[in-house]
Amino acid sequence: LGAGTAQVCTAAMTYGFKIVQEMVSGLEQWMDERGYSRLDELIGKAVPNVTDWQYLNLNYVTKARIDQDKCIQCGRCYAACEDTSHQAISNVPKNGKRHFEVIDEECVACNLCIEVCPVESCITMVRLTEGTDPRTG
């Protein structure tokens, strides 16, 4: 919306601090491709997309799903969710192996688990049947 700084948490935890330079390079490339020369030119660009809660469909509920056949049990999703988000992924061993599963009652569909997962389409967001999410009142 107009911040002059960015906060990095999970990326640095997962990939190390070298990721910061890669993020700077990526931002510079993105800005060049779109004709921006200064960060302050981005201020306010997201404002037209901000809306009031009353216009959101709070009955539209999605939750993360982990495809156990694709999961390599690396634990990145668990670590990211446990340390920086909602503690919505359980780590309960099954058949002597690590087993990660989403706790629907805690999941807010923030996509953090998808972002840190190294396996394409291992974690997806699935729309649940319409109903009121108890966290929204």
Q: What is the pLDDT of residues 74-118, one digit of tens each?
A: 999 999 999 877 899 999 999 999 999 999 999 999 999 999 999
Residue 1 in any domain: the answer is no
Which structural domain, as residue segments, surrounds residue 123? 54-131
Amino acid at 129: T
CA 96 to chain centre: 29
* Residues 44, 98 share a domain: no
3 occurs within a structural domain? no
pLDDT tens-digit series, residues 41-61: 988 888 888 888 888 887 788
CB atoms closer than 10 angstroms to residue 134: 7
The DSSP output letter for 54 is G
Residue 20: alpha-carbon gap to chain centroid? 18
The closest alpha carbon to 66, from 88, 82, 96, 95, belongs to: 88
pTM flag (> 0.85): no
Give the residue carrying structure tokens 């981005």: 42
Lowest-confidence segment of 14-18, 23-27, 63-67, 100-104 by average pLDDT: 14-18
Q: Does residue 3 or residue 50 have the better pLDDT?
A: 50
Residue 13 has pLDDT above 70, yes or no: yes
Report the CATH number at residue 117.
3.30.70.20
- Within 10 angstroms of residue 80's Cβ, the number of other Cβ atoms is 23
Judgement on whether residues 73 and 98 belong to the same structural domain of the protein: yes
Q: Are residues 67 and 24 in the same domain?
A: no
Specify the residue for token string 């490339």: 29
The number of domains in the chain is 2
DSSP-derived pairing of the beta strands 62-66 and 89-91: unpaired
Domain-located, residue 137:
no
> Do 80 and 20 belong together in one domain?
no
Would you say residue 67 has pLDDT above 80? yes
Torsion of CA 10, 22, 124, 130, to 10 degrees: 70
Are 62 and 105 contained in the same domain? yes
Q: Are the beta carbons of 86 and 135 closer than 8 angstroms?
A: no
